[in-house]
Amino acid sequence: MYFAIKMKVQLTIFFFLLIISNANSQERDCREDYLIIDCNEESVSWSYIVYKGEKINYKVAYRSPVVSRAINGKCKFYGKIIVPINRSEYKKKDVKNILKTINEELDFEYFIAYSTCEAIRVSMTAYHHKLKTKFLKDNQIGFYKKE
């Protein structure tokens, strides 16, 4: 008798946890997490940091769609940070420090991401995964979101 009651309780707890787990893993639409601001290309400006007394420009560029969907309640953003510097003029350590400084600079509630003629305000609550570095054409450096 005790064993039967114990099994019923365990099955009830199991199904309860299964329902909670399934509810949390539902895909959700992430469009509510960003605001698209119309602009023209002339009004899109670069941000910059100062590294060792030198002004270094950068911008955040996103591929379309900016946000696809959320899995397990986390939105996935696809994009890169463009830094137009000549890598041959900097030591490897300096390049890493520049990228680290930019990454720290973007660590606030929202940031402006540029995609051709759109500036997108993206919620940083969904932007919390580590970024990986990838070298792009024309001596540009990109941060890509790890998937």
16-48 confidence digits (pLDDT tens): 566 655 554 455 444 444 433 333 333 345 788
- Sign of the dihedral defined by the CA atoms of residues 54, 84, 136, 134, in that order: positive
pLDDT of 99: 75
Contact 102, 46 (CB under 8 A): no
For the chain, the domains span 27-145
Query: Which carries the bigger pLDDT value, residue 110 or residue 81?
Result: 81
pTM (2 decimals)?
A: 0.40
